[in-house]
Amino acid sequence: MDIVYIRELEVETVIGIYDWEREIRQTVSLDLEMGTDINAAASTEDIDNTLNYKSVSDRLIDFISESEFLLVETMAQQIADIVMNEFGVRWLRLRLGKPGAVPTARDVGVIIERGERF
């Protein structure tokens, strides 16, 4: 299995359980590792034969910026569903952080892994 990744993708969104959080936009940060096979892309040098990280990034930016969530757990699961269902990814690991949520921590959040490694 090969991995296509995206690191530190930052998106502004409405996230949080407190009333004040529902009235502002906050930054979430994500790292995404997606299991794939790069052999076809490597042998043809054709972008249509690869998992296009720009397409994945653009889709997630649109989704996250237009959504509102109470919990990072819900957002993480929906991101995983999009990546797996729309881009044919069979395995992924996602770190979704909410920087600044805890004043004395640089970042807090969740890491989820979905699917089976192949």
- Half-sphere exposure of residue 7: CA atoms within 13 angstroms, side-chain side: 1
Fold adopted by 2-115: GTP Cyclohydrolase I, domain 2 (3.30.1130)
Q: In angstroms, what is the C-alpha Rg of the chain? A: 15
Contact 64, 28 (CB under 8 A): yes
- Catalytic (active site) residue 54: no
Domain boundaries, given as residue ranges, for the chain: 2-115
Given 98, 110, 111, 116, the catalytic residue = 98
Contact 95, 104 (CB under 8 A): no
Residues 36 and 115: their CA atoms lie apart, in Å, by 12
User: What tens digit of pLDDT does each residue of 51-66 get?
Assistant: 999 999 999 999 999 9
Percent of the chain clearing pLDDT 90 (strictly above): 97
Residues 59 and 86: their CA atoms lie apart, in Å, by 10
User: What tens digit of pLDDT does each residue of 8-39 get?
Assistant: 999 999 999 999 999 999 999 999 999 999 99
pLDDT score for 117: 79
Q: What is the residue whose two structure tokens read 């034969």?
A: 49
